[in-house]
Amino acid sequence: MGAEVSMDELKEFAKKEIQNGFKGKAIVAFIDLLGFRHEILSKWDDGENHPLERLMKFKGFNEIAKQKAEFHDFQDYEGNTIAKIQYPEIITFSDSFIFIQPLRDETPDDILFSILSVCSTIFELWKVCIDGGFTIRGGLDFGEIYHNGRDLVGPSLIKAYELESNIANTSRIVASENILTLIRSNLNEANPITKEYYRRFMLNDVDQLIILNPIVMYGYNNPEDIANSIKKLEEMMNNTSSFKLKAKYLNLIARLRNQIDPDNDFKIYNAY
C-alpha cells in the first residue's frame, strides 16, 4: 500500500501551489515548429544533424536573448525610447513554445506594447528557426492563465493552442478575437507613435484572419536576409512529400517575395 493522503492535505497543497504561481490575465502565444515531429521520428539517430540539438539551439536563442536584452525597446522615428517592456515568460514543451506576458500596467500604451513584446519575441524565434531549417505557426490570445514554471493551464492557453492546431494551417501566427478587442479598445487612447506600430505589425490575410506581418522580423530594408530566408523556405517546401504539406509554406514565401508591408487603417482590428 502507498502513503495515505487526506483531502485536507490535497486542498492545502493546491492552495499553496496556486499562491506560488501566476494566475491572472496575460497575452499568450502558442508556437509550434512545422515538420519537427517528422524530424524526431526519422532523424533521431542522425549524429551530424540531430533534431534534439537543433531544437535546443532554437530554445536557447530566446533564453539567451532574454538574458542579454531583458527588455524590448520600442522607439520613435528619431530613435528615442518610448517604451521598455520586459520579455515574456518562455515555456517550452517538446517542439512547442509558449510565451506569457502578464499585463503589469493598465495604461493603453503599456497594454499595446505588451502585445508587441510578445510579437517581437515571436519574430526573433521565427527568424532563427528559418535560419535553422524550420518555420513556425501559432496562435495569439489574451485571457486567463495559470503557471508556476512547471504547470501551465488556462482558457487563453487552450485558445492559443486551438488557433495554432486548427486555424493557422500554414506558416503564420493568427490573432484571436480577444487580442483584436484588446487592441481596438486601447488604440484611441494611445500615443500616436504607438499606433504607428499597429499599422505594420499585423495584417489581414486572404481568409480575413488577422496575422502577424512576417516582414517585420527583418526590420527595414534587408533584401539579402529576405532572399536567404526565401531560399531556405523553398528548400523546406521541396523536401516535403505532398502538396498539402508544401502548401503550408506558400503563403509565407509569397509574402516575403512580394514584401507586402501594409499601412493599416486600424479597421483590421475589428473583432471577427
Q: Looking at residue 167, which CATH number applies to its domain?
A: 3.30.70.1230
pLDDT score of 170: 95
**Domain span holding position 153:** 21-269
- 4 in a domain, yes or no? no
What's the rounded Cα separation, in Å, for the pair 69 and 22? 23
What's the rounded Cα separation, in Å, for the pair 89 and 152? 12
pLDDT score of 1: 52
Name 29's bridge partners: 99, 140
Task: Specify the DSSP element, H or E, that contains 270.
Answer: none
What is the residue-level pLDDT of the chain in tens, covering all 272 positions? 567 877 877 788 778 877 787 889 999 999 999 877 777 776 677 666 677 777 788 878 777 877 777 788 998 888 899 999 999 988 888 889 999 999 877 899 999 999 999 999 999 999 999 998 899 999 999 999 998 877 889 999 999 999 999 999 999 999 999 999 999 999 999 999 999 999 999 999 999 999 999 999 998 778 899 999 999 999 999 988 788 888 999 999 999 998 876 767 788 998 77
- 1 in a domain, yes or no? no
Q: For residue 167, how far is the Cα from the chain centroid?
A: 15
- 251 in a domain, yes or no? yes
- 9 in a domain, yes or no? no
- 10 in a domain, yes or no? no
Q: Are strands 96-102 and 136-147 parallel, antiparallel or unpaired?
A: unpaired
- 85 in a domain, yes or no? yes
Answer whether 253's CB lies under 8 Å from 230's CB.
yes
In the chain, the number of structural domains is 1
The alpha helices in 70-154, defined as continuous H runs, are 108-131
pLDDT score of 2: 62
Q: What angle do CA 150, 154, 156 make, to 5 degrees?
A: 120
- 16 in a domain, yes or no? no
Residue 158 corresponds to which cell in the numbers above?
487552450
What's the rounded Cα separation, in Å, for the pair 138 and 29? 7
Handedness of CA 259, 261, 267, 271 (dihedral sign): positive
- 255 in a domain, yes or no? yes
Answer whether 202's CB lies under 8 Å from 264's CB.
yes
Residues recorded for the chain: 272
N-terminal to C-terminal alpha carbon distance within the chain: 55
